[in-house]
Amino acid sequence: MIVTGRVQGVGFRFFTQQVATEHEITGWVKNLTNGDVEIEAQASSNNLDAFLKKLKKGPGLFASVKDTKIDQVESIENEDSFRILY
């Protein structure tokens, strides 16, 4: 998933990790050089739906999610956590 908007320098990666943990999501989140954020996430469809709903709202006043582009990819086996990549 690619998230666009004001999503860097506003705690978006940390927020994403917290929401992922709440919804039993595995994967990762990282900043891209163009100002977007990339996310790889795996979970049940119900958990993913709840995760996406919260991400679209963002972490608060300073963040602003403009758009999310979602592409399905093959599952990554043996993922057991959600982490922030640097």
Cβ atoms of 6 and 64 within 8 Å: the answer is: yes
78 given a catalytic annotation? no
- Catalytic residue status for 13: yes
Strands 2-6 and 37-42: antiparallel
- Please give the positions annotated as active site: 13, 31
